[in-house]
């Protein structure tokens, strides 16, 4: 009897250990699926990301896909080019404003980009920094890609206070906004001003002669396989600007930006520079404001992912627009971001068909991500559409974007300038 009791005790103990091991494995798998970025809320920082190898068993690239919003009967069908690594290339590349201490985050972003897309196309990388790059940074970033890499310094002419800024007043402004994201950050303001008004005229970018750029930041993720060239797609379809996440800006950081934009339109118009003379129904102005343009709704495209024509920012309209805003000092006295500055301009200036939503590029920045939920796209992605910031999330402006794309011509017979000037 003692032997049987001992045997049963051993069996029970083995069963408990077995259940414990199975339970632990299920828990770890659940945590990894729901937290693939390695975000550790206890420490408030990311763990090093795991490189996911290319999976050749993915479904073939679809020829098209359809996007919502689901409440809107007007769906948008996107035709994709045939997959294939042709010899045709656009004069284009990736631009990254990054510091030496962000090397690990930059390598993480590059791994995703190279695995998902660039190992098949070898577009070059341009790295910009307000201090000289270290030998380690140059060595490790150049090793991770077969493409050419370029490294350039952002000097004080592009990263400093312009003479007209009262730095005491700027410091007081940072103090007032210290409770808001980056509200008390001086370097963040320099970055927003640089991305708004200077990266596109950096001597190295001009020397390279790129037509298009793709902005890539440290610690971002790219989730979906790309078997076609987004640069070539944009050029062949006359796209000027592209995004993948649209978001609501915190109003406290840009309280006077919209009134400044309206003042710019008024002054330009009085000088005979009718930069926004496009029919309102042909623009995306309804993405950023009401039918009467009384207020800015805070919607903008996230510029941490941005593909655009370099010469869009070289237009006289944009240069005058940036210079006007820069003279007002809102980049320093408030916290005007390059995202609303870019978004407002393209919504008012471009034809709405020149703006493209890359729904098929799964993407993550900070705690926000988006993932396509179309089955023919999702089979090619490493992400969870249930966590996507798209139509259902109140922070997303994708519904506003889709509604603006489908606005009817009879709704707005006036030009963008006419609407901006009537309030």
- Residue 246: name the closest of 80, 358, 78, 378 by CA: 358
Distance CA(129)–CA(99), nearest Å, equals: 6
Intra-chain end-to-end CA distance of the chain, in Å: 95
Residue with tokens 């820069």: 326
Decide if 411 is catalytic: no
Q: Which of 249, 306, 334, 369 is catalytic?
A: 306
Contact criterion met (CB below 8 Å) for 192 and 87:
no
Distance CA(351)–CA(283), nearest Å, equals: 5
Distance CA(179)–CA(164), nearest Å, equals: 26
- Residue 416: name the closest of 350, 357, 368, 356 by CA: 350
Torsion of CA 282, 286, 289, 293, to 10 degrees: 50
Distance CA(258)–CA(325), nearest Å, equals: 11
Q: What is the CA radius of gyration of the chain?
A: 24
Distance CA(29)–CA(26), nearest Å, equals: 5
DSSP string, 268-323: HHHTT--TT-SBGGGS-HHHHB-TT--SB--EEE-TTSEEEEGGGTTSHHHHHHHH
- How far, in whole angstroms, is CA 112 from its chain's centroid? 15
Distance CA(290)–CA(394), nearest Å, equals: 18
- Residues serving a catalytic function are 306
């Amino acid at each position: 009897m003692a032997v049987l009791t001992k045997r049963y005790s051993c069996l029970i103990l083995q069963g408990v250990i077995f259940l414990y091991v199975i339970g632990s494995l299920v828990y770890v798998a659940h945590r990894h699926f729901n937290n693939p970025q390695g975000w550790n809320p206890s420490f408030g920082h990311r763990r090093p990301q795991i490189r996911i190898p290319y999976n050749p068993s993915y479904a073939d690239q679809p020829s098209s896909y359809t996007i919502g919003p689901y409440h809107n009967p007007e769906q948008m069908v996107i035709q994709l080019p045939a997959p294939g690594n042709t010899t045709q290339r656009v004069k284009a590349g990736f631009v990254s404003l990054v510091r030496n201490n962000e090397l690990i985050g930059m390598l993480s972003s590059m791994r995703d980009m190279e695995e998902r897309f660039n190992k098949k196309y070898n577009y070059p990388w341009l790295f910009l920094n307000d201090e000289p790059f270290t030998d380690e940074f140059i060595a490790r970033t150049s090793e991770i890609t077969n493409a050419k890499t370029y490294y350039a310094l952002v000097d004080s002419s592009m990263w400093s206070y312009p003479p007209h800024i009262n730095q005491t007043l700027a410091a007081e402004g940072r103090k007032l906004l210290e409770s808001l994201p980056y509200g008390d950050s001086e370097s963040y303001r320099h970055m927003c001003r640089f991305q708004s008004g200077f990266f596109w005229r950096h001597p190295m970018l001009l020397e390279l002669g790129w037509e298009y750029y793709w902005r890539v930041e440290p610690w971002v993720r790219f989730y979906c396989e790309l078997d076609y060239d987004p640069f070539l797609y944009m050029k062949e379809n006359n796209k000027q600007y592209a995004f993948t996440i649209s978001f609501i800006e915190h109003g406290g950081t840009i309280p006077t930006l919209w009134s400044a934009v309206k003042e710019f339109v008024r002054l330009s118009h009085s000088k005979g520079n009718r930069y926004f003379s496009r029919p309102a129904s042909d623009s995306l102005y309804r993405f950023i404001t009401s039918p009467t343009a009384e207020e800015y709704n805070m919607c903008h495209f996230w510029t941490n992912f941005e593909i655009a024509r370099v010469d869009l920012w070289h237009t006289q309209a944009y240069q005058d627009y940036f210079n006007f805003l820069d003279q007002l000092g809102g980049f320093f006295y408030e916290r005007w971001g390059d995202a609303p500055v870019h978004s407002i301009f393209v919504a008012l200036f471009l034809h709405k068909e020149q703006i493209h939503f890359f729904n098929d590029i799964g993407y993550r920045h900070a705690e926000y991500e988006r993932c396509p939920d179309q089955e023919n796209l999702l089979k090619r992605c490493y992400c969870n559409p249930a966590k996507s910031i798209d139509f259902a999330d109140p922070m997303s402006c994708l519904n506003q974007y889709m509604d603006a794309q489908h606005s009817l011509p009879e709704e707005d017979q006036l030009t963008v300038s006419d609407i901006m000037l009537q309030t």
